[in-house]
Chain A
Amino acid sequence: MKERILSCVRRALEHRPSPVLPDPLTLPSLSREEAVALFTERLSGNGGEVVRLPDLKGSREWLEGFAQSFSGAAVSRMVPPVLYPALPALPPEEAPLGISWAIGAVAETGTVLLSSREGRRTQLLPPTHLVFVPEETLYATLLEALQALKGDLPSAIGLHSGPSKSADIGQVMVRGVHGPGRLVAALIAELSD
């Protein structure tokens, strides 16, 4: 069957000129501070929340407060142990909070990049999704992020740019349809204590 389809394609293209493949379109890059500001503006605009934390110690302190309103959490195995909340560990199917460690983020679109290596259910099933983002992996543009990831692709990457939403019921925007209804990105400026 493959050969039959490919030979139909080959016959269709006989004597047809081949146009050149254009070079990728690039956008100007940004400084760290500009990227943080743009990421914050864009993800907030998409309905997400952004906090900026100085380092792992500061992140730990912030997390203690944040975690208080949850009864349990599913934590991805990529999250460093210092950022495990003082909450009962629950499977993603039951946890009110899922915690991820991003493999990158994109400022221009307000996006966090998530790897299947940490487990996909943690990213999708809990109603609130907290994603830690080391600022050194915050890219200005989607192109920069894709180029950085290309060498080492896991079985799946999820690009999340806000809470789950749908306008399929009478054109009214509804949040948390299937995926998390709340997305919180916590930028960590320096990965030191």
Chain B
Amino acid sequence: MRVRANEYPKESARVIREEPHVRESVTGATLNFDAKRRAAYAEVDSEQWRHFAEDVKNHVLMNLEHYLEQAATALERSGVRVHWAEDAEAAQRIVAALVREKGVRRAVKAKTMISEELGINPLLEGLGVNVLETDLGEYIIQLLEQPPSHIVGPAIHLSLEQIRRLFHERFGTPLDAAPDTLAAAARKLLRQGFLEADLGISGANFVVAETGTLVLIENEGNIRLSTSAPRLHLALVGIEKLLPRFSDLSVFLSLTARAATGQRLGTFVSLIQGPRRPDEIDGPEEVHVVFVDNGRSSVLADDEAWETLRCVRCAACLNACPVYRQTGGHAYGYVYSGPIGAVLSPGLVGLENTKPLPYASSLCGACFQACPVRIPIPKLLLTWRHRAVEEGLTPRFEKAAIKGYALAMTQPWAYRLASKALRLLPEKALDNTVVPVLQAWVEGRAGLKPSSKSFRELWEEGL
């Protein structure tokens, strides 16, 4: 996927200005998710669960080589073909080879973020494969040719009205159709897709090293169908997704569901140990797992950012974030948005390509409170900001401006001088591009208007 994160300031301002319904839809949905998450955390000893999950993930990450070997051995023992991809190109080569070798014409996809990261849909389309996203939200954004706006609810930015109009144009459903009617129209089309597909593509929420189990969480049943109906199943799995023991699933399944949607467990959980056995009547003939690095091992080597690899992609931090809520995920310019995107993306694709993201936060700390694996997101936002300064990635004027600001704020004479100078500026001087520093600001906002009198003067006059 092309990284457009450096356009975040302009793009976020544009979304707020030109697409006000996005803010409305995203705010409504995320506040709802967040309230459910809080209630579900309150039902259990969530502090104990979060510490446990953090400790298990830390243990796995610090022994990752061992657990990758163990998982690969267990998977192969149950008949899974295991592949390794160090980057997106390598993953694409593996998928393309499978498609050619097995004569794949039709593929169904279970919602997976790593597939977005690796650019699997454009690859398959280029190979002439008919690709169908089967998660209802993913299907909707596939029709619109958009990337996901949220990790769990990919179409969270769209209003019911917009979806009604889309389905009316594509499937002839009435413009006032109930959501049930719309879902039924999609179900009919997608059901056919499941039964005709040669290949089902999924990610994995976890892979259990001990038993070689692929674990997938969902609510619709499309993942169970994608991994059950086609003759081939391919799972794309980040190397950080491992859990040591089968029993670890008891906390991780429930904690992830609580964090993501406030459920005690996803409506459907698949525990997959390999292809159909000789005594079984259905299921895929072949299961392929691709372990993907694509920047993860260099994040692991990073003394601070490695903690982002604990992430279980529940999106609880997106739902808790007052900044994400304003724009949804598209403005962030990369597959992972919101607070976790702001600290994970610089590690995966380079800080120089994601400079504005660590600044897309008020540092309120809500993301850390929500995170089921206690990733210190606010601390890491500051880490990336410090590094941006150290690496000279911040604008040249910033240092001078901060120095000037420090002087004005610590010396009364300088403060008085500066505020007087601002007040003496001609009308509308800050309304256009005369001061280049303010250009980005005024592009998305009304111009700045200095008060004609200082607060001190107003105070002396009795306000």
Contacts and interface: CB of A to CB of B under 8 A. Distances in A.
Interface string B91-114: 000000000000000000000000
Contact of B228 (A6, A9, A124, A174): A124
Contacts of B251: 24-25
Given A9-B297, A11-B301, A150-B211, A177 B283 contact: no
A34 B248 CA distance: 25
A159 interface: yes
A120 B225 CA distance: 9
B298 A8 contact: yes
B163 A170 contact: yes
B182 interface: yes
B268 A18 contact: no
B239 A1 contact: no
B358 interface: no
B200 to A, nearest CB: 12
A142 B136 contact: no
A178 interface: yes
A158 B269 contact: yes
Interface in B252-296: 253-254, 263-277, 279-283, 291, 293
A178 B134 contact: yes
A176 interface: yes
Interface string A91-102: 001000000000
A143 interface: yes
B264 A164 contact: no
Contacts of A77: 281
A159 B216 CA distance: 10
A121 B265 contact: no
B250 A24 contact: yes
Given A21-B56, A24-B247, A24-B250, A4 B86 contact: yes
A94 to B, nearest CB: 11
Interface in B143-186: 153-156, 158-161, 163, 179-180, 182-183, 186
A82 interface: no
A72 interface: no
Interface stretch (A49-57, A59-67, A106-114, A184-192): A106-114
A166 B293 contact: no
Contact of A13 (B29, B65, B72): B65
Contacts of B62: 13, 16-19
A30 interface: no
B136 A166 contact: yes
Contact of B52 (A11, A17, A22, A164): A22
Contacts of A18: 59, 62-63
Contact of A111 (B224, B265, B273): B265
A156 B297 contact: no
Contacts of A147: 246-247
A19 B220 CA distance: 37
Contact of B160 (A42, A119, A155, A170): A170
A180 B222 CA distance: 11
A168 interface: yes
A156 B267 contact: no
Interface in A1-50: 1-2, 4-6, 8-13, 16-22, 24-25, 42, 46
B84 interface: yes
Contacts of B327: none
B69 to A, nearest CB: 7
Contact of B283 (A9, A25, A156): A156
Contacts of B83: 1
Nearest to B275: A155
B56 A119 contact: no
A129 to B, nearest CB: 10
B280 A119 contact: yes
B52 A171 contact: no
A121 B211 CA distance: 24
Given A110-B264, A178-B225, A155 B59 contact: no
B69 A178 contact: no
Contact of A179 (B137, B248, B268): B268
Contacts of B28: 171
Contact of A25 (B48, B155, B183, B225): B48
Contacts of A9: 64-65, 68, 239, 297, 300
A177 B298 CA distance: 40
A2 B293 CA distance: 10
Interface string A56-87: 00000000000000000000010000000000
Given A109-B265, A159-B271, A164-B221, 16 more contacts: A8-B301, A9-B65, A22-B52, A77-B281, A119-B282, A120-B228, A121-B228, A121-B282, A141-B250, A153-B213, A158-B224, A161-B269, A169-B160, A169-B179, A171-B29, A177-B221
Interface of A: 1-2, 4-6, 8-13, 16-22, 24-25, 42, 46, 77, 93, 108-111, 116-117, 119-121, 123-124, 141-143, 146-147, 150, 153-172, 174-180
13 contacts: A4-B86, A5-B68, A9-B297, A25-B250, A117-B280, A142-B249, A143-B250, A147-B246, A147-B247, A168-B136, A172-B179, A177-B222, A178-B222
Of all A-B residue pairs in the complex, the 5 with the closest CB atoms, nearest first, are A179-B221, A170-B160, A168-B137, A12-B301, A8-B297
